[in-house]
Structure 1
Amino acid sequence: MTTFDDYIVFVDESVDHSLTSIDQSYPIFVLAFCLFEKKHYAEEVTPAALKLKFKFKFKFKYFGHAQVILHENDIRKARGVFNILQNANVRSVFMDDLNILVEL
């Protein structure tokens, strides 16, 4: 029988994708990892992420579905489904909810 590790890892990068002309307004490369104990991920993190999408008794607070990918660039630039964040009041509440999720 196959055995699996007790942890799950997620990796993402943030980078100016041009190797020939660096964007001087974003001249960085970031590589980030999140390492979770599987039990904590399943019992705490995943439900909290779903609650962010399903906020308030399974009524969608921000989006019309739960398939939204929380992509930093889209959130920061308030584009795509995150265009709702152009409203300062919505952005403030959303960022508070997102910060609660990240603190887990």
Structure 2
Amino acid sequence: MSVDLLSQLPLFATDQQLAVAIVGKERAAMWRKVVIPQLEKKGFPRIDPLHDGRPVPLVRKFYDGYFGITAGFAAVAPDGKEDWSVWKRSRRKSLASE
């Protein structure tokens, strides 16, 4: 059973704390140097200067969106009204050619 290490962090965590919680101690240095700059381009929470750390709830929210956990069904918008005449017409054509 896995342990949610993010939930054990303070409200504002350092990059080192986040790295260990997310990818483990062995890969933490690489994640901080290589991955964080890439993730920041995609909306990863920045360091809050007042608290000298990244807000852990926003880091969790970022990853929920990153993996599509929060997307659900609301992410897909309807593309317009259905035109059933097109479907019926194409269905008749395919049956006639058989």
Q: Does 1 or 2 have the higher relative contact order (CA < 8 Å, sep 6+)?
A: 2
Fold equivalence (TM over 0.5): no
Larger Rg: 2
Looking at secondary structure, tell me which structure has more strand per residue: 1
Looking at secondary structure, tell me which structure has more helix per residue: 2
Structure 1 length normalisation: TM-score? 0.27
Structure 2 length normalisation: TM-score? 0.28
